[in-house]
Amino acid sequence: MPLASSQSSTSVTQTASGVDWGSLRQDFPILSQLIHGQPLVYLDNAASSQKPNAVIEAIDHYYRQDNANVHRGVYTLSERATQAYEAARDKVQSFLNTPEREEIIFVRGTTEAINLVAQSFARPRLKPGDEILISAMEHHSNIVPWQMVCKQTGAQLKVVPINDNAEIVLHDYRKLLNENTRLVAITHISNALGSINPVQEMIALAHQQSIPVLLDGAQAAPHLTVDVQALDCDFYALSSHKIYGPTGIGVLYGKSSWLEAMEPYQGGGDMISSVTFEKTQYNVLPYKFEAGTPHIAGVVGFGTALDYVSEIGLGNIVEREQQLLNYATQTLLPLQGLRIIGTARHKAGIISFVLESAHPHDISTILDQQGVAIRAGHHCAMPVMERFKVPATARASLAFYNNEDDIDRLAEGIKEVNRIFGGV
């Protein structure tokens, strides 16, 4: 991997860490194309990140050389596929610092991980009068599964409010935790606002009352160092495609004491140790929760993505993205009629904004004409839009392969929007 090489073609590339960010950008082939005749600027990393050559090649290699079903064959290809699949589990273990590898369940993504906990953990434990506590800044994936399980059981959904800066109001959180609370489910970083939540403190407060906590780590896992033992969370959910890995694969981490006590989420092959028509004996962890042929190539690619990210170092990534966030905030704020939605003190590289002159969809369409890809809409967080009384926002979200030129191009594009719609 080209760390600290001097061959870079992009502008500002070197940080105190010594990582040559310009060279790393060259690892992502999709980024070196023209869109509408302009070099692509990709600023929708919160939705999905791009894939480095190493990941693309690992998937290619898997299908060309090792493809077979896992855990089944006693022939070389199946052994290789199993070895690659299980090696990725070890990589996730070290990425999240989980105590045991058996606590890593491969699922389709954050959404499936949360649904698994809702149905296998919460549903059998909930009764009318019980409460699930979420926050006002959740992604729909961390709202709807809880609404569904509340409907199934008669439990109630409670919502911790957020302040005008898009920070969780801890005073209200403390008040909402009570003897009826059965689970807290909170996002580690908000995809719509960028807020980094004080999850360590929130987990400690919940645990004082023996309330388990699930963290939605879809946005945090790519942009923070996550240590589930230090956090002491009970469940952690993440998606590979946001961490430079393939789509269709993700992870649920759960403390083994909980996972052991839970019923399987789905039935099928691989999740059993014996089956008769009278009785089925379930497999041990983690296989009890991995019914059917898994997304083997996805897991292999994800393992390579974790290697890639670990080699750069999450600490270096955090430092670079904070630098880019500061630059972007300073560059965008002076623009005519621009207002940033989400100004938490602790923020990741996500800038949601509105313009007086144009609707977010028009902003995004005009930027696309200039090769700049940002997201416009409610970002699967409609209650956030309601909270800030906006129909939608435009959102630029950063990754370590972005640079100051990308942000300048974004700013130029926004000025063009203002010229077209506002005459300024």
Ligand X SMILES: Cc1ncc(COP(=O)(O)O)c(C=O)c1O
- Taking the least distance from each CB to ligand X, the nearer of 143 and 177 is 143
Cis peptide before 383 (omega within 30 of 0): no
Residue 309 exposed, middle or buried by CB count within 10 Å (0-12, 13-18, 19+): buried
Choice between 110 and 403, CB closer to ligand X: 110
Residue closest to 409 by CA, chosen among 39, 35, 10: 39
The residue (of 43 and 338) whose beta carbon lies closer to ligand X is: 43
Q: How far is the CB of 182 from ligand X (least distance, A)?
A: 21
> How far apart are the C-alpha atoms of 301 and 56, rounded to whole Å?
7
Please list, in sequence order, all residues whose beta carbon lies within 8 angstroms of the beta carbon of residue 300, skipping any fewer than 6 positions away.
Answer: 58, 59, 62, 66, 84, 85, 88
Let me know how long the chain is: 424
Nearer of residues 320 and 375 to ligand X, judged by Cβ: 375
Strand partners, 239: 250
Question: Least distance to ligand X from the beta carbon of 159, Å?
Answer: 16
Q: How far is the CB of 51 from ligand X (least distance, A)?
A: 15
Q: Are the CB atoms for 367 and 386 separated by under 8 Å?
A: no
Nearest distance from C-beta of residue 142 to ligand X, angstroms: 6
The set of catalytic residues is 380
CB 395 within 8 A of CB 351: yes
The nearest distance, CB 417 to ligand X, in angstroms, is 25
Q: Which of 54, 39, 40 is nearest to 243 (CA)?
A: 54
Q: Which residues bind ligand X (CB under 6 A)?
A: 47, 109-111, 139, 141-142, 187, 191, 216, 218-219, 239, 380
Question: How far is 413 from 424, CA to CA, in rounded Å?
Answer: 13
Choice between 203 and 414, CB closer to ligand X: 203
Do the beta carbons of residue 291 and residue 267 sit within 8 Å? Answer: yes
